[in-house]
Chains A and B, each alone.
Chain A
Amino acid sequence: MINSNENNKDEKKIVLKIFRENTAQKTDSHYDTFNVPYKKWTTVLDALLYVKSYMDPSVAIRYSCRMASCGSCGMKINGIPRLACYTKISELETSTIECEPLPNLPVIRDLVTDFSRFFNHHKNIQPYIQSKDGVDDPDTEKKTFSFYQSPDEVDKYLQFSYCIKCGLCYSACPTVGTDLKFPGPQALAQLYRYYADTRDETKNRLDIVDDRHGIWRCHFAGSCSKVCPKGVDPALGIQLLRSYMLGISKNDKKLAEKNEIQTDEESI
């Protein structure tokens, strides 16, 4: 340790400003400031963990994978929702970094927010495939055949299935910022993901969000797609979904069902 101090004499330091609040104890919110050494590859999460290890262990953060896979380290970094593990200090190009909890989600403590509302919106759009085959009929034996899906059919929804439910889009959305009942970009994009899946046969899936607080409150401000760390492009999913709801795009699923055997053979 002594050696490392000497080696690090010309190490660069960053000012890390962290939002502090304990809602359970109703303490007033304030910011704590720390001077943290960093290298070219240091992420904001690394810096926060440094603070926890060597300066103030009481700073509350949520994280797990450190590789943009689990979606738990979302926070507002310099005013914009980002994943702490996916944001390098060097790429921010500022001398002070401000970490705040994700906007539009209630604060639990410091940088940790409550995702219940976000997850409830996700559940509400029925984020699972519902298919008649072998499900409706209790006598049917366990299914012994596989669903056929051509690469083209997979491409229609694959992009949206990469969502890690990090809530960055929800946090950036201007409609969510005022309307708690609005499902938000994540849930709406997932509705599209299941609607566009040829295996899904859910009846009236679109009606779930054809509501005055539903999909029509998207004004295509694009902020969700701007901040999404996984290239999901929720705004694209929402607009494509509207295209179906307005009858501009036709659902070829129904047609495919009719010619099931033929299309399957053709696509293989």
Chain B
Amino acid sequence: MKEIEHDSRNNLEGIKGWLNPSRYGWERISYWFQRLTGVFLLIYFIGHVYETSTIVNGQNAWESFLELTQTVWGHLFLIMVIGASSFHSANGIRLIFTHVGIGLGTPSRPDYPYSPSSLNYRQKSGIWIALILSAAAMYYGFTVLFGE
């Protein structure tokens, strides 16, 4: 029988498996959001630096560029930025704690039915707090941007 190479990409889940975070619980969803918000924030960051740098071309250039965000879609985009940055920061702090081994419990003799100590309630609440925080921040942004 033909040998199957060790570097075969046959049957890899790839990006397609990554795109569906719903199968493995909250931790997987948080990873998914962390990455999407990270990329989104970087795109915003580059755009934001470019946008604000028009100020060196004087008041007219500044104000004409500013109008881009003064539309309904511009406002919605900014609200997304507010939500993404709140989630990414709050969840990022949680992740830094976990990556240094804090808040995960200690190894112990597993007993049936097994419940992994790293997927504990503290971690799940951390994810929910990040989600709620970001929803609240988006709501606040909404009232400021659309409330005038």
A248 CA / B4 CA spacing, docked (Å): 42
Question: In chain B, residues 76-92, which have Cβ atoms closer than 8 Å to a Cβ of chain A?
Answer: none
A166-179 vs B, Cβ < 8 Å mask (1 yes, 0 no): 00000010100110
The reply to whether the CB of B13 lies closer than 8 angstroms to some CB of chain A is yes
Interface contact B108-A155, CB-CB below 8 Å: yes
Q: Which of B39-47, B61-69, B99-107 contacts A (4 or more CB under 8 A)?
A: B99-107
The reply to whether the CB of A242 lies closer than 8 angstroms to some CB of chain B is yes
Given the known A-B contacts A242-B101, A249-B101, are A107 and B11 also in contact in the complex, defined by CB atoms under 8 Å? yes
Closest A residue, CB atoms, query B95: A220
Q: Give 8 closest A-B pairs by Cβ, nearest first.
A: A231-B114, A243-B101, A231-B110, A222-B27, A177-B13, A225-B116, A221-B31, A236-B118
If A221-B32, A231-B110, A243-B100 are given as contacts, then 6 extra A-B residue pairs at C-beta distance below 8 Å, sorted by A number, are A79-B23, A159-B110, A178-B18, A221-B27, A237-B107, A240-B101
A93 CA / B100 CA spacing, docked (Å): 39
Binding site for A on B (CB under 8 A): 1-2, 4-15, 17-18, 23-25, 27-28, 30-32, 34-35, 95, 98-102, 104-105, 107-112, 114-119, 123
A231 CA / B109 CA spacing, docked (Å): 9
A105-132 vs B, Cβ < 8 Å mask (1 yes, 0 no): 1111000011011001000000000000
Interface contact A236-B105, CB-CB below 8 Å: yes
The reply to whether the CB of A97 lies closer than 8 angstroms to some CB of chain B is no
A105 CA / B12 CA spacing, docked (Å): 7
Interface contact B119-A225, CB-CB below 8 Å: yes
Interface contact B12-A114, CB-CB below 8 Å: no
Interface contact A228-B114, CB-CB below 8 Å: yes
Closest B residue, CB atoms, query A179: B12
Of B10, B14, B105, the most chain A CB neighbours within 10 A belong to B10
With a CB–CB cut-off of 8 A, which chain B residues contact A248? Answer: 100-102
Interface contact A233-B117, CB-CB below 8 Å: yes
Given the known A-B contacts A177-B12, A225-B116, are A155 and B109 also in contact in the complex, defined by CB atoms under 8 Å? yes
Question: In chain A, residues 216-260, which have Cβ atoms closer than 8 Å to a Cβ of chain B?
Answer: 219-223, 225-233, 235-237, 239-240, 242-243, 246, 248-249
Given the known A-B contacts A23-B4, A114-B4, A242-B101, are A236 and B24 also in contact in the complex, defined by CB atoms under 8 Å? no
Interface contact A233-B28, CB-CB below 8 Å: no
